[in-house]
Amino acid sequence: MSVKVSLKGDIKEFDKGTSVAEIAKSIGAGLYKAACAGKVNGNVVDLRTPITEDCQLEILTFSEEEGKKAYWHTASHVLAQAVKRLFPEAKLAIGPAIDNGFYYDIDLSRPLTQEDMPKIEAEIKKIIKEGLSIERFELPANEAMELMKEQNQTYKVELIAEHASNGEAISFYKQGEFTDLCAGPHLMSTANLKAIRLTSATAAYWRGDAKNKALQRIYGIAFPKTSELEEYLERIEEAKKRDHNLLGRQLGYFTTVDYIGQGLPILLPNGARVIQLLSRFVEDEEQRRGWQLTKTPYMAKSDLYKISGHWDHYQDGMFVLGNPEKDDEVFALRPMTCPFQYQAYLSKPRSYRDLPLRYNETSTLFRNEASGEMHGLIRVRQFTLSEGHLMCTPQQLEDEFKNCLDLVIYMLNTLGLYEDVSYRFSQWDPENREKYIGTQEQWNEAQGTMERILKDLDIPYVIGVGEAAFYGPKLDVQIKNVHGKEDTLITIQIDQMLAEKFGMEYVDADGTKKHPYIIHRSSIGCYERTLALLLEKYAGALPTWLMPEQVRVLPISDRLIDQAKKVEAKLSISGVRVTCDTRSEKIGYKIREAQLEKIPYMLVIGDKEVEEGTVSVRSRKDGDLGSMLVAEFLAKIQQEIVTKAK
């Protein structure tokens, strides 16, 4: 009995039951050694999988995404094995491959510290050297349960219990003395691993629930070549140099003060300037697109939040002024603008002719984040959001949603961040009903509408179950910081619940009263976070139109200060943000400082320039551009500013 296997176009015959690994071996020893997993008719399989029928087969190596995952998954098992050897009492939880390496969550008698890492790494190297072959076996659920109970692996027992109901056998992988519950796939031997580095050890809750026990999570990364590992680590180090939390402080964008408090950054002149530029740009663009600016209070009585549902669903996140138990009147700082802008809608009776009604606001919000959440400018307790709420009829919803998305994409393109974002369709979690308002039907309808729109626009997205707002589904624009941590930059939400709660209505053409659909949306996100990501994206060298200081005039000697000042004045009067470095320093020194501050253009003024009425232009990215007339330079930089060139 033989099977026909199509390998990259070639069809080869093998005995029925030949494993993927053996097929790889028949192609070449090199491929066999590099093989991480197989792909049969598009499905990723373990190398040990027997081929029992004609199929398309691909051998996956580390260069393929799924191959990498198998490689890292095996690395996580070796990590667990090493920890087990050093801490025999360790209980294993889960150890998956992730986008950048792998981790293993382990219950240990004590937390790990940085000193433990080299010891674990040394043990890992030993295990790799031992070249333990990795074997797969299956057990019926009850026997699997017994095996894990014997080893006192309570977390595994819990996992098996969940799988037991579907009647399938439970698979294990064994290498040397170490056996782990695992679906695979895995490499054939620990010897196939090469360069492993443990990157950090932190705590992580069992099953990601803060109510559960905190386990020790060890993160690591692995590569088939030492040089690749070194390159990776170097890349990480380079990325960290772009960290806004470092650059933003160094370059005078923001600072923090311990006695002001966590998550309450001071925006220094540079930071405040960029945010001013961004918000002007946003408000102008929104006006062009039919949005009307409102300015609403920063706080309200609890009564308002009781109507909106924030009091019941968001109180932990709010700064409440006063004691709800004792005081007659309790206020709270606003965590969102929605209920305030709705009052503008409610200020008079509305007709379908008024819709769509678009309100925008540059709105400062206050959210009482848990103390461990704050991070530079990315996660703070007071921030300013480019916010808006749009009231429309069901017929208008789709077009208006698309318009909102178009605005978002326009903003992202202008900032140069479009290529760095991904979309997340954030849905509710029906298992967790108490977190949300509204009925199953309302959620199905709102989510169905959003899904239809996204499909129609052909937007690629991932689904985030349980990521919805308490009042409706969201389309979140996600972005990663230099550490690879993902955050929401911008969001567009569909809400059909709050209009009803607030009694927002419009009189339709047929004379009946109806509740409008509401779109909650941001256009450029919150300014602090967007600034942070811009600083990281451009390593501090923001596009010229956004730079707090666009030009610095550098006289070569004190004799030329007057002339330099004239150039400064000429540019300044034309709206260019320019300064003049009048210190008695050498030109090389002045240039070095301007360069380190990422000033887009340095204008060197010497005798020659004064004589010719020119300036010697140096760009931060292209160096010396030679000399040109002041008017020429002005035209050049104005062009760059108007087009918002990146």
Contacts (CB under 7 A) with RNA, residues 597-626: 602, 604, 606-609, 616, 618, 623-624
Residue pair 514/506 in contact (Cβ under 8 Å)? The answer is: yes
- Find the shortest distance in angstroms from Cβ 598 to RNA: 9
HEC letters along 226-277:
HHHHHHHHHHHHHHHHCCHHHHHHHCCCEECCCCCCCCCCEECHHHHHHHHH
Query: What type of residue is 199?
Result: T
Residue pair 507/492 in contact (Cβ under 8 Å)? The answer is: no
Candidates 585, 613, 629, 643; binder of RNA (CB under 7 A) is 585
From 127, 19, 114, 136, select the one nearest 75 (Cα to Cα).
127
Quick check: 628 binds RNA (CB under 7 A)?
Answer: no
Q: Which of residues 366-395 bind RNA (CB under 7 A)?
A: 367, 369-376, 379-381, 383, 385
> x/- string (CB under 7 A) for RNA, residues 526-565?
x-xx--------------------------xxxx------
Alpha-carbon span 395 to 613, nearest angstrom: 62
- Find the shortest distance in angstroms from Cβ 106 to RNA: 12
Q: Which of residues 196-215 bind RNA (CB under 7 A)?
A: 200-205, 208-210, 214
Quick check: 400 binds RNA (CB under 7 A)?
Answer: no
Rank residues 28 and 261 by Cβ distance to RNA and give the closer one.
261
The window from 74-82, 134-142, 258-266, 350-358 that contacts RNA (CB under 7 A) reads 258-266
Q: How many other C-beta atoms lie within 10 A of the C-beta of residue 558?
A: 10
Torsion of Cα atoms, 196 then 199 then 202 then 204, to 10°: -60
Rank residues 322 and 335 by Cβ distance to RNA and give the closer one.
335
Q: Which of residues 105-144 bind RNA (CB under 7 A)?
A: 111, 113-114
The window from 16-24, 285-293, 391-399, 583-591 that contacts RNA (CB under 7 A) reads 583-591
Q: Which of residues 300-339 bind RNA (CB under 7 A)?
A: 317
Rank residues 98 and 164 by Cβ distance to RNA and give the closer one.
98
Q: Which of residues 332-371 bind RNA (CB under 7 A)?
A: 367, 369-371
Alpha-carbon span 116 to 334, nearest angstrom: 45
Q: Which of residues 1-30 bind RNA (CB under 7 A)?
A: none
Alpha-carbon span 475 to 425, nearest angstrom: 5
- Find the shortest distance in angstroms from Cβ 169 to RNA: 29
- Find the shortest distance in angstroms from Cβ 305 to RNA: 15
Site size with RNA, rule: CB under 7 A: 82
- Find the shortest distance in angstroms from Cβ 367 to RNA: 5
Mention every residue, 6+ apart, whose C-beta is less than 8 A from residue 568: 553, 578, 579, 580
Computed on alpha carbons and rounded to an integer, the radius of gyration of the chain in Å comes to: 30
Q: Which of residues 439-468 bind RNA (CB under 7 A)?
A: 466-467
Q: Which of residues 224-243 bind RNA (CB under 7 A)?
A: 243
Residue pair 178/72 in contact (Cβ under 8 Å)? The answer is: no
Helix axes 394-415, 527-537, angle to 10 degrees: 40
Rank residues 487 and 505 by Cβ distance to RNA and give the closer one.
487
